[in-house]
Amino acid sequence: MRWGSLAGQPYSYYFRRAVDSIVATPVIAGVTVTSIAVSVLLAGSVLLVGSNAYRLVASWGAEGVDLSMYLKQDIPDDKVVELKKKLAADPAVVNVYYISHDEAWMFLAQNLGDSAELLDGLDASILPASLEVTLVRSLEGGGLDEKLAEWKAWPEIDDLQYNREWTRRFRSALGIVRWVAWALGALALIASTIIVGATFQLAVFSRQEEMEIMRLVGASGIPYLGPVLLSGFFQGIAGSAAAVGVLLAIYKATAGPLVTKLPMLDGSLAFLTAGQSATLIAWGAILGIVGSWLGMHRFGSWK
């Protein structure tokens, strides 16, 4: 049963010729698949780290605490209650709660996980008590600056940490890092394309006599180039799929111990989505096709 034809040749012809070209040059095919896998693995690593970093920042920003007011040492309890009432009455404040020295110590120990033993021998009083404040989302610009300056001037306040601004700056820094990473990934892609093209050229040269015979008998255009591009597609799929598999294995091997060491990461780490994985595999397939075309183009005219 024929499945159809392309340029006068059945589809099975292209498939058979593509597979034969891979089987005939296993070493060169292996180098090509490895080159594609390394390129996709680099891009996938950038994507995985970047997406998790943004997810982590988003989770921190969603926690709702915008401002940490660190209190001076030895503030009496009645003064703390007075400060809470004063803040709660402010229209700019949505919520406020108090964290004592001991609560701050417990929070730090929990987030250190297995490294909490570093705190042995230290006293909880080294950590300041604080008032954690959630602000209305409409408070920005000059009004916010005035509020922060007013609160920082209170004699009971030792320091202020505006978490929303820190999150915004961290996101901006991550954006810069992301573009730098993608630029490096693009350079790696260009280098990989050249390497893959060179390996395909070696494959073509290794079958030069066969290709010349095909041209002598009139093979040209799609019947001549199609099997080469299809073999590049197959090798690209194999290399990129292997890269995604390696990336998944690395993620599974490192995510668990990382969360154990840093419990604050629990719930924020995740592997690439199905769409992201599919994009990486498509990237590898395109790289294989482009590399095979470059190899044939260097070999000579195929038209």
Every domain of the chain with CATH number 3.30.70.3040 lies at: 67-163
pLDDT of residue 218: 55
Cα 52 to chain center, whole Å?
6
Q: How far apart are CA 275 and CA 176, in angstroms?
A: 24
Average pLDDT over residues 140-166: 77
The Cα–Cα gap between 36 and 21 comes to 18
**Alpha-carbon torsion angle 257, 258, 262, 265, nearest 10:** -120
State the Cα–Cα distance between residues 256 and 243, nearest whole angstrom.
21
Enumerate residues 6+ apart whose C-beta is below 8 A from 22.
29, 231, 234, 235
CATH architecture of 67-163: 2-Layer Sandwich (3.30)
pLDDT of residue 185: 67
Output the CA torsion 61→65→66→67 (10° steps). -140
Structure confidence at residue 303 as a pLDDT band (50, 70, 90): very low
Model confidence, pTM: 0.60
CA distance 140 to 142: 7
Listed in sequence order, the residues at least 6 apart from 172 whose beta carbon sits closer than 8 Å to its beta carbon are: none
Contacts of 54 (CB under 8 A, 6+ apart): 171, 174
Is 80 exceeded by the pLDDT of residue 166? no
Q: What is the pLDDT of residue 152?
A: 85
pLDDT at 302: 45
Q: Which residues partner with 68 through β-bridges? A: 132, 161
**Predicted pLDDT of residue 177:** 67
Does residue 18 contact residue 230 with C-beta atoms inside 8 Å? yes
3 band by pLDDT with thresholds 50, 70 and 90: very low
The 10s digit of each residue's pLDDT in 63-116 is: 554 788 888 887 888 888 888 888 888 888 888 888 887 787 777 777 666 666
Tens digits of residue pLDDT in 241-295: 999 999 999 999 988 888 777 766 777 788 988 998 999 999 889 888 887 777 7
Residue range 113-126: average pLDDT? 66
- Per-residue model confidence as pLDDT tens digits over 180-226: 767 776 776 677 667 776 776 776 666 666 566 656 655 555 666 77
Average pLDDT over every residue of 137-161? 77
Whether the Cβ atoms of residue 292 and residue 228 lie closer than 8 Å to each other: yes
- The pLDDT, as a whole number, for residue 247 is 94
Give the model confidence (pLDDT) of 33-44 as tens digits.
888 898 888 888
Q: What is the pLDDT of residue 35?
A: 83
CB 290 within 8 A of CB 298: no
State the pLDDT at residue 269: 83
b/e map of 265-277 (b: 16 or more CB within 10 Å)? Answer: beebbebbeeeeb
Provide the token pair at 194: 């050249």
Please list, in sequence order, all residues whose beta carbon lies within 8 angstroms of the beta carbon of residue 151, skipping any fewer than 6 positions away: 67, 69, 157, 160
Half-sphere exposure of 107 (CA within 13 A, CB side): 10
User: Which bin fits 272, alpha (ψ -120 to 50), beta or left (φ > 0)?
Assistant: beta
Give the DSSP per-residue string, 179-208. HHHHHHHHHHHHHHHHHHHHHHHHHHHHTH
Go through the chain and tell me how many residues it has. Answer: 303
Query: Quick check: 21 and 202 in contact, CB under 8 A?
Result: no
pLDDT of residue 19: 80
Name the residue type at position 286. I
Instruction: List the single range of 80-94, 132-146, 149-163 with lowest mean pLDDT.
Output: 132-146
Nearest-angstrom CA–CA distance, 60 and 54: 10
